[in-house]
A and B are shown apart, each in its own frame.
Chain A
Amino acid sequence: AQKITQTQPGMFVQEKEAVTLDCTYDTSDPSYGLFWYKQPSSGEMIFLIYQGSYDQQNATEGRYSLNFQKARKSANLVISASQLGDSAMYFCAMREGGSNYKLTFGKGTLLTVNP
């Protein structure tokens, strides 16, 4: 089974509207971290937001928020007030606890923001 599943290969949103990018994960480890990265066409992976498995509240960073539903094993990224510069690939990733610190990434979602 895939550890990170992003079911939306592509998404479109109008400028200034909100958009939700889906991510589900699979782990039996009680301690884990979830990350979202943005990858513009230039190629660099840009860290957006982090959610720890024991965090009681959903993470927020400016226009980004993470809708963390632990029982459903989902960690959806919400981008509010979309901007043209938000057009990029978005990757969800997981770090499982213990001695394993590598990130496992999903296949990504290509977001296009329309003017």
Chain B
Amino acid sequence: GAGVSQTPSNKVTEKGKYVELRCDPISGHTALYWYRQSLGQGPEFLIYFQGTGAADDSGLPNDRFFAVRPEGSVSTLKIQRTERGDSAVYLCASSLSLAGGPGDTQYFGPGTRLTVL
């Protein structure tokens, strides 16, 4: 079956612009996660959704970052007034459940590489 997909694969934008990054999770997965990976680092948690609601957004760095999942499937990460420090790979993951155990293994998409000039 299809894995997690993310679009675009690459995004180059200018400082101050607005960007949207899209994630399409594995069909049937109820939980969806966003992470950010800077060069040479492991991914860092941003936000996760259980269904349509953001269950934990404690990793969002500031109020320029916002994410939605209006129908409980596709999610969009929105970044306003982009800064050069926002440049990173943004990874999306989904899991079948949040029940604990191997069922909540997170499967990742290929990521969106964001470059802010």
Contact = CB atoms under 8 A, between A and B. Distances in A.
B105 A35 contact: yes
Nearest to B31: A101
Given A37-B108, A47-B106, A102-B48, 13 more contacts: A35-B105, A44-B109, A44-B110, A45-B43, A47-B108, A52-B102, A91-B42, A101-B55, A102-B56, A103-B43, A103-B106, A106-B42, A108-B41
A44 B111 contact: yes
Interface of B: 31, 33, 35, 40-45, 48, 55-56, 59, 89, 91, 93, 95, 98, 100-102, 104-111, 113
A35 B95 CA distance: 13
Contacts of B100: 31, 33, 52, 97
Contacts of B98: 101
A60 to B, nearest CB: 13
Interface in A8-49: 31, 33, 35, 37, 42-47
Interface of A: 4, 31, 33, 35, 37, 42-47, 50, 52, 91, 93, 95, 97, 100-108
21 contacts: A31-B100, A37-B108, A43-B110, A43-B111, A43-B113, A44-B108, A44-B111, A45-B91, A45-B93, A46-B108, A47-B106, A47-B107, A50-B102, A97-B100, A100-B56, A101-B104, A102-B45, A104-B45, A107-B40, A107-B41, A107-B42
A105 B44 contact: yes
A16 B40 CA distance: 28
Nearest to B40: A107
Nearest to A108: B42
Contacts of B33: 102-103
Nearest to A6: B42
B46 to A, nearest CB: 9
Contacts of A104: 45
B105 A47 contact: yes
A8 B91 CA distance: 24
